[in-house]
Amino acid sequence: MAVYRPRGTLARVIHAKFHNDYSLDNIDTRKWYSLAHDLPHRFQSKFVPLEPDATTVSWLERAKALSANIWTHLWHALARSILQFFMTQTDINGFLKRGSMFILSEAQFHKLLVAGGFLPGAEPITLLDIGAGDGEISMRVANSVTELSGSTGLQVFATEASWTMRERLKKLNFHVITEIDGLQNLDLILCLNVLDRCFDSFKLLEEIHGSLAPNGRAVVALVLPYMHYVETNTSHLPLRPLLENANSGRPDSFEEEAARFMDLLESCGFRVESWTKAPYLCEGDLHQSFYWLIDLIVVISKKTF
């Protein structure tokens, strides 16, 4: 039987997208959350098992629906081809209001925070999201914290390098700031998929440690396998790598890199309280409905000596 080969560039793109999306429909999404083997006991005992819940499935269905609008994607492709000469990819996404991300649902964040010992008191909660993007993930965490804290109040601060994203954060009534040095005794700090995108990851970890309240918690997410990329400098390289390959060229497994990263966090003065594995999802484009990487998400506190 002859294989159908569409003629024309647009026809070929649509045909390829149909097949890509068909493959996505057959993915076992439970594997996004599962481990191949246990980590050392001191870390494995803090693991919080998750699975795709109703909110996650709803986000994926919404991404598929948005991706079906071919004309919107054609407009985005045309706009990107022009804007790329004077804007970063993140600025373009913010300008076009595309490329929203998803890590955990409100219920999943709630479960991870509770397992990590985040127990709000009677005072208003202060939350900082470092590199907050469009604020969609920040809002999910804020909703989880509000549910945990009741009516005590919540104040959200955010940093973001992209000027278009900062404008979107202001519309969410976040307090957008440029530096975190002036903030002290924060109850909750988010640093989600930023450490592998900033120039000096170790300085950022020091700033998180200095700004966190003694009984506060930070939530740090890192894409594994680890691959550093700095969008804002010409070399796209960090001052120094966050993780070094320990296997003489053999790729590390998720479990190996996860253990090494949590070891690093402990060496920086933090204690691992809970952690999980989950997909880092992004809305799709002309080629497929959504994309994903695999995240390690860790709830940490300050060590007490």
- Residues 80-96 have pLDDT tens digits of 777 777 677 777 766 66
- Give tens-digit pLDDT for 38-92: 999 999 999 999 999 999 999 999 988 877 666 676 666 777 777 777 677 777 7
Helices (H), the chain: 9-25, 41-44, 54-67, 70-83, 89-96, 106-115, 136-149, 163-171, 201-211, 254-267
- Give tens-digit pLDDT for 184-198: 999 999 999 999 999
Provide the pLDDT confidence category of residue 1 given band limits of 50, 70 and 90: very low
pLDDT at 65: 84
Give phi and psi for 185, each to the nearest 5.
55, 45
Rounded to a whole number, what is the largest CA-CA distance in the chain? 72
Tokens of 143: 């909703």
Q: Model-level pTM greater than 0.85?
A: yes
- Give tens-digit pLDDT for 134-146: 999 999 999 999 9
- Give tens-digit pLDDT for 208-246: 999 999 999 999 999 999 999 988 888 888 989 999 866
